Amino acid sequence: MNDVISILDLKFKPYISEDKISAMVKELARKIDEDYRDKESVPLFLCILNGSFMFCSDLLKQLKTPSQIEFVRLKSYMGTQSTENVQMLIDLNINVKNRDVILIEDIVDTGHTLSYFIEILRDMNPRSIKIASLIFKKEAFRKNFSIDYLGFEIENKFIVGYGLDYNELGRNLPAIFQLVD
């Protein structure tokens, strides 16, 4: 996993290794356990598909807190660009009223996707909404919500792997790769 790889017309170089990701996921799980272990009600983890599937799975395997997991599918990215047009491709059809919800994202880039979803969720009256994101592109961020459980803050360059795709390819890579320009 030390080599430059090609996906379609683009080349990517190794950026965050499997070991670093795994250590970070454990650390985030530990923090969530610390915050939720004394809560009386079971927290609801909402995995935001498709990008978050790997992070979500690894994070929940590390958690000791009893938890429920549900899935929504949002889409905003085209190729290597974020768009403001967010679509909900798989809807949330459970009752979140009075639940402690933790949104699980692979990456927060401009923030459009999550802020769109947070608005929808707020109208459903959960008790609390927290956000866990493995990656944050601070320079690209255009919103003002805070990320409660953040893994890596990275520079504003396109990445793939560990759930993240380039035109639907590269999601299965176990590590994260950065676009070579």
Applying CB under 6 A, the residues found at the interface with ligand IMP are: 51, 76-77, 82, 105-113, 158-160, 164-165
As measured in angstroms, the least distance from the Cβ of 29 to ligand IMP is 20
- Residue 20, Ramachandran bin (φ over 0: left; ψ between -120 and 50: alpha; else beta): alpha
3-state secondary structure of 110: coil
51 belongs to the binding site for Mg ion (CB under 5 A)? yes
For 177, list phi and psi in degrees, rounded to 5: -120, 145
Asked if 87 and 97 touch (Cβ cutoff 8 Å), the reply is: no
- Residue 36 binding target from ligand IMP, Mg ion, none, CB below 5 to 8 Å by type: none
CA distance 147 to 117: 14
Kindly determine how many residues on this chain lie close enough to bind Mg ion according to the rule CB under 5 A: 2
- Residue 133 binding target from Mg ion, ligand IMP, none, CB below 5 to 8 Å by type: none
Q: Based on CB atoms, which residue is closest to ligand IMP, 21 or 65?
A: 21
- Residue 99 binding target from ligand IMP, Mg ion, none, CB below 5 to 8 Å by type: none
